[in-house]
Amino acid sequence: MRAVVAAPITLSRTTPLLAGPRALARRAVAGPLGLPSPLHGRVVVVTGASSGIGEATAKAVAAVGGRVVLVARRAEELERVAGEIEAAGGEVTWHACDLTDAEAIDALVATLLAEHGTVDYLVNNAGRSIRRSLALSTDRMHDFERTMAINYLGPVRLTLGLLPAMREQRFGHVVNIVSWGVQIKAPKFSAYLASKTALDTFSRIAGRETFGENVTFTNVRVSLVQTPMTAPTEAYAGRGATPESAARRILRALEDRPITQDTLAGRVGEIANLAAPRLMDALFAGFDALFPDSAAAKATVAPATADPVSDPAGEAAPQESATAWASLNSAPAGSSSTANRP
Ligand SMILES: NC(=O)c1ccc[n+]([C@@H]2O[C@H](COP(=O)([O-])OP(=O)(O)OC[C@H]3O[C@@H](n4cnc5c(N)ncnc54)[C@H](OP(=O)(O)O)[C@@H]3O)[C@@H](O)[C@H]2O)c1
């Protein structure tokens, strides 16, 4: 049996102006009337659902009656998450897929369309972060290539594959999990934030082209969240939101379909970067000097041609968790193909 819970009606501190009058009106009546979430009965694909923010989001979507589809590489973790969702009464399927593999993404799209006809909601959450200064990056072009592969090219390919059916049915919503860093532009995150900014910009433009067909995009500019991605970074210990609270914001973005969902700090940073760019450069140069590269980032200088998957040493920078590396290397051998759980 599937749990059906009415959407919470509390207004987000950061999004009401961007949510649109339809979403605000729905919230005003949904709670008092006990109406189900707009996600109820809808097919919601969540990538990167094997841990962290994606796992929590998948569980939140299932709890309001969404038919959730989990995607990531680690089949055993997807099976665990799916089992927990089922045990809570949710409806779930999963597919193991490496979202840096173009053929695997195309196969995933074909499978999803065959199974569901149309995907109603897509959450592009799978991603990786790298924090490393340019001074340590001159021989590390692969840092830039691999962040683009998973944070930009993979989500774009998946979105392009699912978009025609959304446009055809004149309904669809894509939520991208990006970062407040696209607004703040923090030093040492050039590879990571450039890839997230690319996805952010792609979606703003795509949303303009599909607006008339009721297919919409939200960029969720997430701040620090305690997940396996951030766990190895000592400076982040005890700081940041929980995956569950991030998931509540993402659920809100799915239901209300705002253009962006920002933090106050992200918005202030964005405005300051526009209004006083030189002053911000000077400020951030100071921060950059205050917070040097980690020992792990300094210790790992991989050859430019290194394969990021077979070169775990090259990943051991803050936010590039040893855990993530270990999991990368233990990804199922068939991770370039999709595997479906009935
Ligand atoms: N945590 C933060 O502070 C923070 C802040 C801003 C933005 N974000 C963004 O939030 C998203 C989720 O991150 P998280 O913090 O929850 O970290 P996480 O727990 O490490 O989750 C990353 C997810 O991405 C999946 N993934 C990575 N590479 C993949 C690939 N090639 N193919 C398919 N799936 C892949 C991983 O699954 P498998 O290993 O099983 O493939 C995992 O489920 C990321 O896009 C991240 O950039 C996080």
Fold held by 16-326: Rossmann fold (3.40.50)
The number of C-alpha atoms within 13 Å of 327 and in the hemisphere containing its C-beta is 19
User: Per-residue pLDDT for 114 more than 90?
Assistant: yes
Query: Measured between alpha carbons, how far is 236 from 230 in angstroms, rounded to an integer?
Result: 7
User: What is the structure's pLDDT at 18?
Assistant: 55
pLDDT tens for 122-132 read: 999 999 999 99
The finding on whether 74 has its CB within 6 A of some atom of ligand 1 is yes
Angstrom distance (rounded) from CA 103 to CA 243:
31
128 Cβ below 6 A of ligand 1: yes
Please report, for the chain, the start and end positions of each structural domain, with discontinuous segments joined by +.
16-326
Which residue type, as a one-letter code, is found at position 78?
A: L
CA distance 36 to 9: 11
Note the pLDDT of residue 128.
94
Beta bridge partner(s), residue 219:
176, 260
31: three-class secondary structure by DSSP: helix
Residue 143 Cβ contacting ligand 1 at under 6 Å: no
Residue bearing the CA closest to ligand 1, atom 41: 73
CB 300 within 8 A of CB 320: no
Sign of CA dihedral 260, 93, 62, 192: negative
Counting residues of the chain whose pLDDT is more than 90, the rounded percentage is 70
pTM: 0.86
Cβ 57 vs Cβ 79: under 8 Å = no
pLDDT tens digits, residue range 191-247? 999 999 999 999 999 999 999 999 999 999 999 999 988 876 767 778 899 999 999
Output the CA 25–ligand 1 centroid distance in Å: 33
